[in-house]
């Protein structure tokens, strides 16, 4: 749990170390030798919490990728993303963590993770992180 000296909050805020990548299940991409494919996955009900206040952050996570040998099993991705529900992370860190974890598990040719977060206090946020295999 994060202890924030600037704000006192009655909410439990978990640290990012509770996020486990072993929930992510790669599946062999059976058409690798025949053709490449571009995949887009949207999770429009993403939630985590502000690490400073414990207040909820909501948004849509979009994952665009071109697999090499593996694709992600969607139920496992859903369970993976649900782990963020009580985690205190800034938007930019969330997007980078999701990208790093998926790249580690799938080793795609390329991947882009975008988070479009709902406005709070009149300010909305869009964050994108990208990976391209060397």
As annotated, the active-site residues are 50, 57
Please give the helix or strand (H or E) that residue 105 lies within, else none.
helix 91-106
26-28/56-66 β-pairing:
unpaired
User: Do residues 105 and 24 touch, judged by C-beta distance below 8 A?
Assistant: yes
Q: What are phi and psi of 33, to 5 degrees?
A: -75, -15
């Amino acid at each position: 749990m994060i202890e924030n000296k600037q704000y006192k909050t009655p909410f439990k805020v978990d640290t990012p170390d509770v996020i486990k990548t072993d929930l992510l299940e790669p599946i062999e991409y059976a058409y690798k030798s025949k053709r490449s494919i571009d995949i887009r996955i949207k999770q429009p009900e993403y939630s985590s919490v502000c690490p400073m206040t414990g207040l909820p952050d909501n948004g849509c996570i979009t994952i665009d990728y071109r697999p090499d040998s593996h694709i992600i099993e969607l139920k496992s991705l859903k369970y993976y993303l649900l782990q963020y529900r009580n985690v205190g992370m800034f938007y930019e860190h969330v997007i980078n963590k999701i990208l790093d974890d998926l790249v580690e598990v799938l080793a795609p040719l390329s991947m882009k993770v975008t988070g479009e977060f709902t406005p709070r206090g009149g300010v909305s946020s869009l964050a994108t992180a990208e990976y391209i295999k060397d």
